Amino acid sequence: MDEEEYDEMEEEEEEEEEEAVDEEEMVEEEKDKVE
């Protein structure tokens, strides 16, 4: 595997982590609305 492929894999992982954080923030906002 060359460096370019490795960089792409790392970028995809970072994007997935960011999406997970966004989802967590949305869940927190929903909880605030319910309370």
pLDDT band at residue 29 under the 50/70/90 scheme: very high
Six token digits for residue 19: 């999406």
Taking phi over 0 as left and psi of -120 to 50 as alpha, with beta for the rest, 2 belongs to beta
Six token digits for residue 30: 């929903």
C-alpha 32/C-alpha 28 separation (Å) is 6
pLDDT tens digit sequence for 2-27: 999 989 999 999 999 999 899 999 99
Q: What is this structure's pTM? A: 0.45
- CA triplet 30, 32, 33: central angle to 5 degrees? 65
